[in-house]
Structure 1
């Protein structure tokens, strides 16, 4: 009996490890195997000498159509699918909704040799809208998508009826604040270490203010499945390239150029600050203060309106969807 117990004890960690490994989802390089909430469509185009495919969802108005289109731009650790509840809410309220996955992310192409920039991603998005015959839209960006939405509004003002920034990162210039530069090779090594535990811990801290709900697991699975799948090398490489992009291409200094009415929706518990983990302690301590950053950004915008969710984190649309969407719809109606 003692020998059997010892063997069982030795075997237990192996069984646990095997069970954990089996439970970790594995998706294809373009997120094959993950269920999107609406049918996927594909925009095929040429960019930087390559044939690329941008996956997007095009959801018609379910309620009485109001003749308006909303374009939803996802964050770096997110996908178009993460907008699931927002798409449903906007569609129910008469909007046609376009939710693309940017090149390098999620269900879209993962090019190895691609010069990622917010200017390029904005141009890709404009090309998609041109293909769909959309002349003007309400552009809603979250996290990294907020930086992209701001760049889009600056570069393509004729296409933006209203702008909404949901906890956008880049409300401060991290390099100017003293965060050291990390090379793409260094960033890539960090990305290759990504696992379910690191993703969940990060989201728990920054997105949900330490309070986890079972419905958040789906978004962890979505992200970790890409890193755990056969395309992990190119997924990590694109993530490193885009991490360099958002560190080295700040948009905040140009907020004064944004002419569209802009709604800022800010979760006040957010402390997201890419690169803070490699910054000196005194620098890291002052970064990611979203209540302060949101107010400064609103003041810098010619037509800015700030709505604060004091007790919410980086993803208010996922953490408190009913409250968030009520504020979103109210803000959109007031900007008309």
Structure 2
């Protein structure tokens, strides 16, 4: 009997070790060896003395309804995590455009770049123009929500509708969090590994809960940490953290002209720099139940969907509860 238990224990341990090893395979700087759910296309950009590539997926429905949706990814993600959303929207006739911003996913990782949300919005508009799309619904999650806001403000004539899904930037962290230099962000990024990335996502995105399916969104970040060029990836990550921290959009929501929908998971507590403040101050940050209501009041012609017991990624954690109100809003 003891031998049987020992065999089972060794078997489980071996499978666990192999699974862990699989999660930690080095990935190319532009995720060359990481498969996306749809064909990836590129546009060429000349920016700040560099030739860059910006990747995107263009998901075309079998029966088009003549409308398009732009899905903008968050800080710690790439366009691939929109797969289920894109499938559902395409089934309803929507054309779905999913870019990887410069510095993320399969797009270029510049050796130097002054990142601004205006620059990322301009690049995103270049993708839309390449596809000859005149009007589009702009949907942003997490950091993508800040970018979606900037896009809608810069290009109101192209923004048919506006959707925020647990966006960051609903508050101005500069008012509470000590400033971190790019070098400080960079040092922190250099220390990342699979375990730290998973722990961060589990605690901040899923309220301490975890399912094996969530591992899929740890793998790209963890694989990068094993790449010999990881310092360049970490540097771009540090630059985009500085962009997020120093370029708030919270003061401009009243200028949004398009009909708007906010989908807010109520368990979310995400806020930049929470680890740099006292426990007392930390309790005042990332209060999404209140931030969602405040933001909906600021945006004219907006509606708010509150998802109880859902965290930072509604489209991953509670897809059915996320997609239903989204499609209802798009179909209006």
Same fold (TM > 0.5)? yes
Q: Is structure 2 residue 282 aligned with structure 1 residue 284?
A: yes
Deviations 1:271-296 (A, max 9, x none): 00011111232221100000000000
| 2-structure distance, mates of 1:28, 1:34 | 8
* Structure 1 position 91 matched with structure 2 position 90: yes
Matched residue, 1:303: 301
SS at match of 2:29: coil
CA change 1:167–1:22 in 2 (3 A) is closer
Name the structure 2 match of 1:121.
120
State how far apart, in whole Å, the 2-side matches of 1:283 and 1:266 are: 22
1:61 is displaced (CA, Å) by: 0.9
The question of 1:324 aligning with 2:313 is answered no
Q: Please list, as runs of the form range in 1=range in 2, the aligned pairs for 1:1-336 lying within 5 A after superposition.
A: 20=20, 23-62=23-62, 64-176=63-175, 178-334=176-332
Residues 100-137 of structure 1 deviation map (CA, whole Å, 9 limit, x = unaligned): 00001111000121000101100111111111111110
* Runs of 5+ consecutive residues of structure 2 not aligned to the other structure: 1-15
The CA distance in 1 between the partners of 2:49 and 2:131, in whole Å, is: 23
TM-score, structure 2 length as denominator?
0.92
How far apart are 1:199 and its partner, in Å?
A: 1.2
Length-normalised TM-score, structure 1: 0.91
| Distance (Å, rounded) in 1 between the aligned partners of 2:98 and 2:228 | 25
**Structure-1 residue corresponding to 2:3:** none
Structure 2 vs 1, CA of residues 311 and 115 (structure 1 numbering), >3 Å: closer, same or farther? same
Shift in Å, 1:224: 1.1
| 3-state SS of paired residue (1:157) | coil
Rounded Cα–Cα distance in structure 2 between residues aligned with 1:296 and 1:91: 32
- CA root-mean-square deviation: 1.5
Native 8 Å contact 1:27 1:230 kept in 2: no
Preserved CA contact (<8 Å) 1:179 1:280? no
Change (3 A) 1:300 1:228: same
Alignment length, in residue pairs?
317
What SS does the corresponding residue of 1:167 show, helix, strand or coil?
strand
Mind listing any 5+ residue stretches in structure 1 that lack a counterpart? 1-15
Give the superposition deviation at 1:210: 2.2
